[in-house]
Amino acid sequence: ADLSPVTVIGLGPMGRAMAARLIRAGHPVTVWNRTPSRATDLVTAGATLAPNPTAAVAASDVTILSLTDYQAMYDILGPTVADAEHRDVLAGRVIVNLSSDTPELSRAASDWAAKQGARFLTGGVMVPAPVVGTPDAYVFYSGPEEVFDAHEPVLRLIGEPKYLGADPGLAQLFYQAHLDVFLSTLSSLLHATALVTAAGVPAVEFLPGALTFLAGVPAMIGDAAEQTARQLETGEHPGDLSTVLMMGATADHILRTSEQAGVDLELPRAVKSHYERAVAAGHGTSNWTALYEVIKARD
């Protein structure tokens, strides 16, 4: 049977990778991008470049958005639905927004789409563009389950779909939480490298070993991940191998080493502050997981 047409709007590295994957799978693909030149290779590969967003949406039942943020969706589709001649173009269609933004804005966008008569899925792509469409790719989704189920085969081409639930905010909640881990890790790797190079040691003598160390972190926590999760839920933090006081002393040493090195202090200050406030709250002799008590709710 002929495969269903799919529209992709937003042709950054991510949108281009997704459109290319859909073309390779045999779907008729229509694309639109604010900067049309980004569509050139896709058109060569068989995509149709729509002349405007209205035509792009009208070409398929399913439109995938891959944009910098949710505002870009309103910038692109807002004029279409404000135009009396085309205001019904979204009615009955499925919009799959795979752009990054806050859960709150995903929920508002879902309401907005419902007002246009569209069904709306939110998603967060968890791998870089070159990994899209490979067995390592996965994508979080949220929104109406029957809409997800109906389009799962198409979405599966992008990466393993992981459906989280009906709340449209869930996919971006999970996306932001994972990127929280990722971006903090990247900043800490660069900060640590700066610490070493400030002493005249070439980065290459540090970074590969640091990555090996990083790869060992899951084993430090992982064997006890479920136990750790339970401790976080219950607020009980037994354990005297890595106490808040011991780890906090190290956090202070990192800050002082950073001061002497002349490198940026924001990250070590933030980490040290977690330990200081946990100690002040009486968690000094608890397991390091007690930091959660000061992190989980802002004063």
> Interface with ligand NDP by CB under 6 A: which residues?
10-15, 33-35, 38, 66-68, 72, 75-76, 99-100, 125, 128-129
Q: How far is the CB of 60 from ligand NDP (least distance, A)?
A: 18
Q: Which is nearer to ligand NDP, 125 or 244 (CB)?
A: 125
The beta strand positions in 143-231, using DSSP E, are: 160-163
- With tokens 């977690």, the residue in question is 274
Amino acid letter at 50? A
Residues 176 and 143: beta-carbon distance below 8 Å: no
Q: How far apart are CA 78 and CA 121, in angstroms?
A: 18
Amino acid letter at 38? R
Q: Which is nearer to ligand NDP, 130 or 282 (CB)?
A: 130
Q: Which is nearer to ligand NDP, 60 or 97 (CB)?
A: 97
Q: Which is nearer to ligand NDP, 60 or 106 (CB)?
A: 106
- Taking Cα atoms as reference points, which of 283, 164, 298, 288 lies closest to residue 228? 288
Q: How far is the CB of 157 from ligand NDP (least distance, A)?
A: 16
Residues 105 and 80: beta-carbon distance below 8 Å: no
If you write DSSP's letter for every residue of 79-130 in order, what string do you get? HHHHSTTTTTTTTT-EEEE-----HHHHHHHHHHHHHTT-EEEEEEE-S-GG
Q: How far is the CB of 96 from ligand NDP (least distance, A)?
A: 12
Q: Which is nearer to ligand NDP, 72 or 251 (CB)?
A: 72
Q: How far is the CB of 113 from ligand NDP (least distance, A)?
A: 17
Q: How far is the CB of 261 from ligand NDP (least distance, A)?
A: 31
Chain position whose Cβ is nearest to ligand NDP = 12
* 13: CB partners within 8 A, 6+ apart: 128, 129
Q: How far is the CB of 172 from ligand NDP (least distance, A)?
A: 10
Q: Which is nearer to ligand NDP, 35 or 234 (CB)?
A: 35
Task: Identify the three-state secondary structure at position 223.
Answer: coil
